[in-house]
Chains A and B, each alone.
Chain A
Amino acid sequence: MNAHPDVTIQVTGGGSGTGIAALIGGTTDICQASRPIKDSEKEELHTKRNLDTVETPVALDALAIYVNKDNPINSLTLEQAGKVFRGEVTDWKDVGGKPGKIVLYGRDNSSGTYVYFKEHVLENKDFPPAYQALPGTGAVVDAVAKDKAAIAYGGIGYAKDIKTLSIAKSAGMPPVEPSMANVLNNSYPISRQLFWYTAGAPQGAMKSLVDWVLSPEGQMIVKEQGFYPLKGE
């Protein structure tokens, strides 16, 4: 902002879909999304504004599965995680832990993280009624830190005083930690790219902004915010 005093940036909240809809409608120059744009949305943009979508990955994000520090479990397979969060498995002993009820926590259904997790871990099936939706990842982390029976999910950047599980893609495969290296080499199964989308190639101030976020300075901020930079350290 200091380098471009003539440019103002106004950030409006909303989900990925909100941003993409605004880009299609022409009410924004650039939008962020935590999911890739759909083909139908690309087409819509093309027919409405006669411009092609330009996608710029700007950061990597790992969704970690959190448990209490005292929980003896260190890893789950992706399939086990799905069963736990769909409410099909309700006792820790069924996934190799100490006998006891599993208590589920997570974000509310307004959260992009909720949607992503549901699509990629629950295979788009529903959370059970006993799933506890808390108003923020901070509240989720606090609950897991204090609840020995808890399991939850959230961005890796929020994990504090809790244990993050290693995840195996399928039974028999080695469990993988949600570390930066494992996200970069794509071996950690619940990670995603975060994107910026523009209509047509970014130009002028827009181009400076995109160049800046990809620069070492921008990627440093990505890391500070708890995400992983595109190229690692």
Chain B
Amino acid sequence: MRSSQVLSESLRTSDVTNRHLKRRQRLDRAAEALILVFASIAMAIILLIFVYVGREALPLLWENKEGASVAATFAPPVVWQPVSTNPRYNVFPLFLGTLKVTLIAMLIGTPLALAAALYTSEFAPVRVREWIKPGIELLAGIPSVVMGFFALIVLASWLQGQFGFDFRLNALNAGIALALAIIPIIYTVSEDALNAVPNHYREASLALGASKIQTAVRVVFPAAMPGIGAAMILGFGRAIGETMIVLMASGGAAIVSLSPLDSTRTLSATIAAELGEVVFGGGHYRVLFFIGTLLFLVTSILNWVGDRYNRKMRLKLFGAE
């Protein structure tokens, strides 16, 4: 009875609705096209940047200016000394430095970010959560140069005062500052992942007699694992590419050592510090662009993998993207 009434009503207004609908569809299509154009422009810009950076590095394959070649970037001696009567371009000390600082940042940042995410998504009362979430996300808004300055002036003095390190500026100092930069990324992405776990997971677990902590750690956390993996990968990518913090806080000595307490020089900081004065098109210039290409590739791959993980999780939880 009710349905036939609706039907007849809709039949009466069908003309109006039809016109309305068509206009809306046209608008939708226009918006879609616009978004496609902007997205393509963004993609094209990224592609062009990559082509440019790669093109500047490419002549390294056949040129050998001032002893700079692809082979020289990994040939012994393991020394980065590009401004010299006998320049040496081995990038291993820089690679090691980047890895060292990134790992320290991950070791400090990941547990903190994940614990905070688990707390806000599973335990925190709404009012507390409304303060913590924006607070952590605000960290992402602090310019990295400010973070670097803080590490250079304040953190380094504090660490040296507490522990009396030989090197005031070292990988640990930079790693801690870098952890502050990646915490918001890991936190935001993993918090989203935890929130995306459907409630019936929790309800089922609680109904079986599990405590709240057991539910959070053994049910919700594993269910959100791909998303958390993505969060960590994205954090790692950010840490590898971060420049200003490491430039200011790591000390900048290209020492080959595994100690977190030694002064360290990273790939990104090297580009930032040295590119300003190199001879355009010279050997040193090419090597710096080569390093840039490597960094670009590594961060792109990490971002791509992180995105894949995120999708996988949605697929697992909801059966669709």
| Residues of chain A having any CB pair with chain B under 8 Å | 13-15, 17-18, 101, 103-104, 108-111, 114-115, 118, 124, 126-127, 129-135, 139, 142-143, 146-147, 149-150
Interface contact A130-B255, CB-CB below 8 Å: yes
Given contacts A129-B93, A133-B253, contact A139 B168 (CB under 8 A): no
Interface contact B277-A18, CB-CB below 8 Å: yes
- A114–B262 CA distance with the chains assembled, in angstroms: 22
Please name all residues of chain A whose beta carbon is closer than 8 Å to the beta carbon of B199 when the two chains form the complex. none
Q: Residue on A with the closest CB to B256? A: A129
Query: What is the minimal beta-carbon distance from B135 to any residue of chain A, in angstroms?
Result: 30
- A109–B312 CA distance with the chains assembled, in angstroms: 46
Whether B273 sits at the interface, judged by CB under 8 Å, is yes
Whether B254 sits at the interface, judged by CB under 8 Å, is yes
- A39–B273 CA distance with the chains assembled, in angstroms: 30
Q: Which of B26-34, B80-88, B174-182, B214-222 contacts A (4 or more CB under 8 A)?
A: B80-88
Interface contact B153-A130, CB-CB below 8 Å: no
Please name all residues of chain A whose beta carbon is closer than 8 Å to the beta carbon of B86 when the two chains form the complex. 126
- A111–B251 CA distance with the chains assembled, in angstroms: 16
Whether B169 sits at the interface, judged by CB under 8 Å, is yes
Whether B267 sits at the interface, judged by CB under 8 Å, is no
Please name all residues of chain B whose beta carbon is closer than 8 Å to the beta carbon of A111 when the two chains form the complex. 277
Q: Could you say which of A133, A146, A147, A150 contacts B252, with CB atoms under 8 Å apart?
A: A133
Whether B105 sits at the interface, judged by CB under 8 Å, is no
Please name all residues of chain B whose beta carbon is closer than 8 Å to the beta carbon of A134 when the two chains form the complex. 169, 248, 251-252
Interface contact A14-B81, CB-CB below 8 Å: no
Please name all residues of chain B whose beta carbon is closer than 8 Å to the beta carbon of A126 when the two chains form the complex. 81, 84, 86
Q: Could you say which of A15, A139, A147 contacts B277, with CB atoms under 8 Å apart?
A: A15
Interface residues in B, total, Cβ within 8 A: 37
Give B55-82 interface residues, CB cut-off 8 Å to A.
79-82
Query: What is the minimal beta-carbon distance from A41 to any residue of chain B, in angstroms?
Result: 14
- A103–B253 CA distance with the chains assembled, in angstroms: 11
- A34–B121 CA distance with the chains assembled, in angstroms: 60
Interface contact A103-B168, CB-CB below 8 Å: yes
Query: What is the minimal beta-carbon distance from A111 to any residue of chain B, in angstroms?
Result: 8
Whether B321 sits at the interface, judged by CB under 8 Å, is no
Q: Could you say which of A103, A115, A139 contacts B166, with CB atoms under 8 Å apart?
A: A103
Interface contact B83-A114, CB-CB below 8 Å: yes
- A109–B153 CA distance with the chains assembled, in angstroms: 22
Whether B265 sits at the interface, judged by CB under 8 Å, is yes
Interface contact A129-B152, CB-CB below 8 Å: no
Given contacts A132-B167, A133-B253, contact A110 B84 (CB under 8 A): no
- A124–B248 CA distance with the chains assembled, in angstroms: 27
Please name all residues of chain B whose beta carbon is closer than 8 Å to the beta carbon of A131 when the two chains form the complex. 253
Interface contact A132-B273, CB-CB below 8 Å: no
Please name all residues of chain A whose beta carbon is closer than 8 Å to the beta carbon of B263 when the two chains form the complex. 130, 132
Given contacts A115-B83, A124-B85, A132-B252, contact A110 B273 (CB under 8 A): yes
Given contacts A101-B166, A132-B169, A143-B169, contact A108 B252 (CB under 8 A): yes
Please name all residues of chain B whose beta carbon is closer than 8 Å to the beta carbon of A143 when the two chains form the complex. 168-169
Which 5 A-B residue pairs are closest in the complex by CB-CB distance?
A: A110-B277, A109-B83, A133-B252, A108-B273, A132-B251
Whether B137 sits at the interface, judged by CB under 8 Å, is no
Please name all residues of chain B whose beta carbon is closer than 8 Å to the beta carbon of A146 when the two chains form the complex. 156-157, 160, 168
Interface contact B255-A129, CB-CB below 8 Å: yes
- A115–B85 CA distance with the chains assembled, in angstroms: 11
Query: What is the minimal beta-carbon distance from A101 to any residue of chain B, in angstroms?
Result: 6
Q: Could you say which of A114, A115, A147 contacts B168, with CB atoms under 8 Å apart?
A: A147
Whether B274 sits at the interface, judged by CB under 8 Å, is yes
Q: Could you say which of B157, B166, B274 contacts A109, with CB atoms under 8 Å apart?
A: B274
Query: What is the minimal beta-carbon distance from A229 to any residue of chain B, in angstroms?
Result: 27
Q: Could you say which of A18, A130, A135, A147 contacts B247, with CB atoms under 8 Å apart?
A: A135
